[in-house]
Chain A
Amino acid sequence: MQAVFIVFNQANTERVEYLLDLLEIRGYSWWSDVKGRGSVNGEPRMGTHTWPEMNSAVLTIIPSEKVDPLLEKVKKLDEINLDVGVRAFVWEVVKSY
């Protein structure tokens, strides 16, 4: 089991939802209106007058074999337009109940 944290521009909401369905990922936790900015050159998403856009984030715990297809899809999504922005981060789930 691995945890995948996807944080993305709100404008990608529908695509991310579709992506999870496509890969038959049922369980996730979802945060709407998440602030943030990219480490390299990612535009800040602050929901302010200066930076009006906002991100959303989803955390899903999936079997390890699903992680790579998911990251592949996320990469495809990002490549549609790099300015919009989507990132995924993976880490191990040590325990769960």
Chain B
Amino acid sequence: MSIYKTAVNKPITTVMIFTAIVVMGLYSLTRIPIDLYPELDPPFLSVITTYPGANATDIEQNVTKILEDALNSVDKLKEITSTSSDNLSIITLEFDWEANLDEATNDIRDVIDRTYQFLPEDVERPTIFKFNTNMMPIVFYAVTAKESYPGIERILDEKLINPLNRIEGVGSVGMMGAPKRIVYVEVDPQRLDAYNMSIEQLGAVISAENMNLPSGSIKMGLMDYQLRVQGEFKESAELNHLVVGNFNGKPIYLRDIADVDDREKDISQDEKINGETGLRFFVMKQSGANTVQVAREVQAMLKDLKKTLPPDIEINLILDTSHFIKGSINNLSSTLLYALFFVVLVVLFFLGRWRATFIIVLTIPISLIVSFIYLFVSGNSINVISLTSLSIAIGMVVDDAIVVLENITRHIERGSSPREAAVYATNEVWQSVIITTLVIVAVFFPLTLVGGLTGVMFKQLGWIVTITVITSTFAAITLTPMMAAQLLRLRPVKADRKKSLYERTIEPLLAWLENVYTGTLRWMLKYKAMILIVALLLFGSSLALLKFIGTDFMPQTDESSITLNAELQTGTRVEETMKVARKIESFVFEEFPEIQILATSAGSDDEGSMFSLFQTSGSNVINMTMRLKNPDERAEDVWQVAARLREKIDVIPEIVVYDISTTSGFGGMTGNTVNVEIYGYNIDKTNLIAKNLADRFETIPGAVDVQISRKADKPELQVILDREKIAGHGLNTANVSSQIRNRVSGLTAAMFREEGNEFDIRIRLKEEYRNSITDLENISIVNQMGQRIKLKEIGEVVEYFSPPSIQHKKKERLVTVMVKPENVSLGELANSINASVSEVEVPDDVKIVVGGAFKDQQESFMDLGLLLLLSIVLVFIVMASQFESFIMPFVIMFSIPFAFSGVFYALILTNTTLSIIAGLGAVLLIGIVVKNGIVLIDYINLMRDRDNRLEDAIIMAGKSRLRPVLMTAFTTTLGMLPLALSSGEGSEIWSPMGISVIGGLLFSTLITLVLIPILYAMMAKTGQRDKTGRLRAKFTELE
């Protein structure tokens, strides 16, 4: 018993099965997290090794190089890059996207185990760091305070961070730029010398005094008492009265030789929010948590928590990644609803009957809901890609149901009972319905096989369209006949019946359209060659236009966020950096009303937070995060604002280089830069070439933010000791250097405890005695015998320059010059950069390669091209077996290039660049074009097999198939129209796809209707009548 017969005979079972599917789908929907993109686990692993005291060159030679050589053998490794900087070696291993990172981690661990013994002794064990998109903070808040500022870290820690950490899905909450309290004991070295004491002695005294010690227990009478000595300082001022020694029989108090200063730690980083003192905190989510939900809960909880905070503390949102996600998803969801509405409208327009429309439209939600089950089961999220996939699918899922229902209606109108009509009509068409579905699957299924970043992005699209289309076919041959059997009734034909509105208006219109089309077709069949030449000319001209279309990797999006990263002269002290930061802030406040919140951080946190891994930091660096008003509330888009900002920053003399980026979060993955990599061992030589190239790039129109990855040499002060002299004084390098460190950086003698918190007590020289080379040379070093030796007696202090970091790629030293495009496409920029690079003379030992996002783009286009090929092959296979012919597939295939012409024309007309997304739209066109072609050719074949003349068959088929072809074209075009026209948040991502699909589809529908019949007429001259002739020739003996 066939499936459709069962479905028609058991309507309740059928309804129940589909209800079950819908219920499961809706349940899944409530469980699926919402995100911007499918979860990407970037295939990067870092090996981080610290070697205290070593400079960049030491690290490079003794650590990085050895590890790199060893790590190079790890399986599936794609590329190895490294940065060797002072004290730190970071090696980044890039794997193939399909690689299993757990295995890779184990491999790396093995390699490290083997290699560790060959590293210098003081090197700490290398750690493996796995980067994860979840580590990107999902929300950033700015906190400003006035009176509470000094104690803000504790207040926030207790009242904000701890409660927030308890929210489900929050990975961690971190703070940046909170002031730290330290008790400084700042010593006057002259008095120290006069009393014959040293900083180490002071430290010993303070640490000996700051002590609570249990001293046993005493039994007294009936009781057992604990005995304790309570020596810990209750307040920092007590330190002043500490007796640190004796001189001439009189006690020396600490206040005699030093100032005790209980205050915020010296600034090395300055945080300002909208120009006020403040700090930032951020929330990271756990892996797999729903960004939107976590962000919402954090916001809600913050509202409550704010009430418990002192009134002068203000909390402002700087960055909420969920905001953009929510905006995009909402936009896409409403787009989806519009698409649904349009599809219903089109179906109603062409069928003109409510019940039939209802039966067909019912397949839409069912097919779409099934994709939610897929998303849930595969652990995916609802994101831009999955929703776009649904919008693509929505126009296609009704096609099968329409074919089935049309045939059923035909049978009913011939007088069959609806039930019988449903069974027999479905029997007649179910095979061709499945074939057309196979074509769509042949186009989309290969998407699931593509590798690389493109593959990760489009796997979902492939699966979703495949699944929804298969479901729709299933529904079309079960649910549709069942519903038709239940709902459709034969309309009794009465002669005097008044015609309905539809029959009076739209039906004549469609009939007129059919007549116009068949008339045109008849005319065109007489001028086949001419039409073909015109078509080829159109195709040729579109190819010629191709070079005016820019290419991009991913379309840029306006995320209402700008980050500025500016560097001053290397070695600039933080106070100077702050001044420049204030200058930038002042004009931002005055001239950029679009910017709502501005968080500035100048200098670097010397303790090094995890963030220093991702951003350049240093006392000379300014980082600014700006949040703009929503796109619809401002006149300029984010790129225009960024361009204006660039103009202003260009004229600040202190800023050496800067970088303005308009992406956040995911932007890191798809950075939009062209990187010119200069490989060569000689640092000076490659520096020179990099500088030369950078200067040239600056002059290329459209090139902005030209940056050289290797920072300018950094000035350092080096103490060079005379070994003979220090030996003569009974000293060695170790104790001299530790004494210098204690005097300059400070000696942490003890912890000052207050209300459960600990603060460092740090002893060091007063600032005025340690801020020039002369001061340093006058530092007294105390030897074993208690003698004081000035530093200048045993060595000298010299200034020198060293490279702050050395980068490697593929184990070779390199400098990268990065360039961002402005108002030009990435491809164009890469071309002009290539031209510019070829003009530069390069020595033999230096190699220049152009890469960056441009390389990713090329790789992705290559993947896409391969995909195209795979799809075409599969489609050919399906069609060749469908028609049992090699000619028919070619007739249909011939129309595919014209679909691309349509894409190119549409891109040119709307001034859109060809990105991966637009390219994807082109791929999916193949499916639709081929489907239309099959529908038409199949019918022509049918008419010829029924003994019609070639031309008549073509005209008849054209007349009969005009409606279905137009219907597919209209449902898909109108379904895509909201995508193409949407202008909300994130629309930049998908509107290119809408544009390319609409352009391609309109053009290719025309091609289907015009070119395919003509090609058919030219190529398929033999038909049924020739077969009869051949048959007669075969059986001549019977004549």
- A1-57 contacts to B, CB under 8 A, are 10-15, 49-54
B671 to chain A, nearest CB (A): 54
Given contacts A11-B411, A11-B416, A81-B415, contact A50 B424 (CB under 8 A): no
Chain A nearest Cβ from B1031, distance in angstroms: 15
- B942 lies within 8 A of A50 (CB): yes
**B946 / chain A contacts, CB cutoff of 8 Å:** 50-51
Contact in complex: A52, B417 (CB < 8 Å): no
Nearest Cβ on chain B to A47's Cβ, whole angstroms: 9
Closest CB in chain A relative to B880 CB, distance in Å: 16
> Contact check: which of A11, A49, A81 meets B424 at CB < 8 Å?
A11
- Chain B 403-430, CB within 8 Å of chain A: the 1/0 string? 0000000010011110111001001110
B945: chain A residues at CB < 8 Å are: 49-50
Q: Which residues of B contact A83 (CB under 8 A)?
A: 414
Q: A49 contacts B416, CB within 8 Å?
A: no
Contact flag A12-B414 (CB < 8 Å), given A49-B942, A52-B428? no
Q: Which of chain A's residues have a CB closer than 8 A to the CB of B942?
A: 49-50
Query: In whole angstroms, what is the CA distance A86 to B942 when docked?
Result: 24
Asked if A81 contacts B414 (CB within 8 A), the reply is yes
Q: By the criterion CB–CB under 8 Å, are B416 and A12 in contact?
A: yes
- A35 CB to closest chain B CB, in angstroms? 15
Is A71's CB within 8 Å of the partner chain B? no
Q: Does A84 contact B (CB under 8 A)?
A: yes
Any B CB within 8 A of the CB of A80: yes
The B interface, classified by DSSP as helix, strand, loop or mixed, is: helix
Q: Check A13–B420 contact: CB distance below 8 A.
A: yes
Q: How many A residues, CB 8 Å from partner? A: 16
A51 to B414, CA, bound (A): 16
Q: Which A residue sits closest to B419, measured CB to CB?
A: A14
Report chain A residues within 8 Å CB of B424.
10-11, 53-54
CA distance A14 to B420 in the complex (A): 8
Q: Nearest-CB distance from A52 to chain B (Å)?
A: 4
- In which size bucket is the chain B interface? 10 to 19
Smallest CB separation, A44 vs chain B (Å): 9
Which residues of chain A come closer than 8 Å to B417, judged between CB atoms? 14-15
Chain A residues with CB under 8 A of B420? 10-14
Residue from B421, B429, B431 in contact with A11 in the complex, judged by beta carbons closer than 8 Å: B421
Contacting B415 at CB < 8 Å: which of A10, A53, A54, A80? A80
Q: A84 contacts B428, CB within 8 Å?
A: no
Kindly list chain B residues whose C-beta atoms are within 8 Å of the C-beta of A10.
420, 424
Chain B residues lying within 8 Å of A14, measured Cβ to Cβ, are 417, 419-420
- Contact mask A43-78 → B, CB, 8 Å, 1/0? 000000111111000000000000000000000000
Chain A residue nearest to B421 in the complex (CB): A11
State the Cβ distance, A53 to closest chain B Cβ, in Å.
7
Chain A: minimal CB distance from B884 (Å): 10
From 925 to 973 in chain B, residues with beta carbon under 8 angstroms from any chain A beta carbon are 942, 945-946
A43 to chain B, nearest CB (A): 9
Chain B contacts of A49 at CB under 8 A?
A: 431-432, 942, 945
Cα distance, A12 to B421, chains bound together (Å): 9
Instruction: Specify which of B415, B427, B429 lies most central, judged by the most chain A CB atoms within 10 Å of its CB.
Output: B415
User: Which chain A residues lie closer than 8 Å to B414 at the CB level?
Assistant: 11, 81, 83-84
Q: Which residues of B contact A50 (CB under 8 A)?
A: 942, 945-946
List of A residues within 8 angstroms of B416 by Cβ: 11-12, 84
Q: How far is the CB of A56 from chain B (nearest CB, A)?
A: 11
Which residue of the partner chain B has the closest CB to A53? Answer: B428
Q: How long is the Cα–Cα vector from A11 to B427 in the complex, in angstroms?
A: 11
Chain B residues with CB below 8 A from A12, complex form: 416, 420
Residues of A within 8 A of B419 (CB): 14
Interchain nearest-CB distance for A37 vs B (Å) = 12
Contact with A along B497-508 (1 / 0, CB 8 A): 000000000000
From B415, B427, B431, A84 is in contact (CB under 8 Å) with B415
Q: Report how far A14 CA is from B9 CA in the complex, Å.
A: 13
User: How many whole Å from B100's CB to the nearest CB in chain A?
Assistant: 48
Inter-chain contacts of A53 with B (CB < 8 A)? 424, 428
Instruction: Tell me the smallest distance from the CB of B888 to a CB of chain A, in Å.
Output: 13
A8 to B406, CA, bound (A): 23
CB proximity of B883 to chain A, nearest CB, Å: 10
Q: Give B5 Cβ to nearest chain A Cβ, in Å.
A: 12
Q: How far is the CA of A84 from the CA of B419 in the complex (A)?
A: 16
Smallest CB-CB separation from A10: which chain B residue? B424
- Within the complex, what minimum Cβ distance (angstroms) separates A18 from chain B? 10
The residue in chain A whose Cβ has the minimal distance to the Cβ of B427 is A52
Give the docked Cα–Cα distance between A49 and B421 (Å).
Answer: 18
B432 — nearest CB in chain A belongs to which residue? A49
User: How far is it, in angstroms, between the C-alpha of A84 and the C-alpha of B415 when the chains are bound?
Assistant: 8
User: Could you write out 5 A-B pairs with CB less than 8 Å apart?
Assistant: A11-B414, A49-B431, A50-B946, A52-B427, A52-B429
10 interchain residue pairs of minimum CB distance: A52-B428, A81-B415, A50-B945, A11-B416, A80-B415, A81-B414, A11-B424, A11-B420, A10-B424, A84-B414
Q: Interface residues, chain B, CB within 8 Å of chain A?
A: 411, 414-417, 419-421, 424, 427-429, 431-432, 942, 945-946
Instruction: A13-B420, A49-B945, A52-B429 are known; give 10 further A-B pairs, CB within 8 A.
Output: A10-B424, A11-B414, A12-B420, A14-B417, A14-B419, A49-B431, A49-B432, A52-B427, A52-B428, A54-B424
